[in-house]
Amino acid sequence: MTETDSEKTFGPSAIATPANAVTIIRLLLSPVAFALIINEPTSWPTVAMWFVLSTTDGVDGHIARRQGTTRSGAFLDPLADKFLALGGMISMVIAGVFWWVPVAIIVVRELVISVFRSYWLRQGLAVPASKGGKIKTFLQLAAVGWVTLPWTADIEWLWQGTLWAAVFMTVVSGVQYLLDGASATTDQGEMP
């Protein structure tokens, strides 16, 4: 047995794992970040909370890769990412910082892809996340992060540019996701 095999202590069906615990903590603390954003979008407590929640996504992923990835983690981790990113952007709209149109485009894309993904999961097909999807999540979190940081909050072109780059990547990765899903189903002899 190799060292890597011995470190993988959780099988694919495990639920109570350290990686899932980190993900659930992220989900539970996200509403605190949203309240901070709505109350005072730019402040050191807000940026600290946003930074911790945004960066711990890498922590749960690292733990999962070391101890064994699980189906529950594969579901919970993207859910936590979407909840944090969408909630942060919607909170910025409520606070009067972000314009609602780019955020609405992102929300609609996420809903369409979630319905698409759920449909194909029920058919027994999982369409994996792409690098474009990871980039769009990073840009969404960064757009909110630039506003929370007192040093960059007044640099409107920075956070506006990041938000619109997030919209672009959100649409592009959504189209790619649909094409990949259709291609995968066609490859398996099923009609999309």
Please indicate whether residue 122 or residue 171 has the higher confidence score (pLDDT).
171
Q: What pLDDT digit, counting tens, does each position of 62-89 carry?
A: 777 777 777 666 777 778 889 999 999 9
Q: Which residue has the tokens 């996420």?
A: 110
pLDDT > 70 fraction of the chain, expressed in percent and rounded: 79
- The mean pLDDT of the chain is 83
pTM (2 decimals)? 0.84
pLDDT > 90 fraction of the chain, expressed in percent and rounded: 49
- With bands split at pLDDT 50, 70 and 90, how would you rate the model's confidence at 14? low
Q: What is the pLDDT of residue 185?
A: 53
Tokens (6 digits) for 146: 């630039």
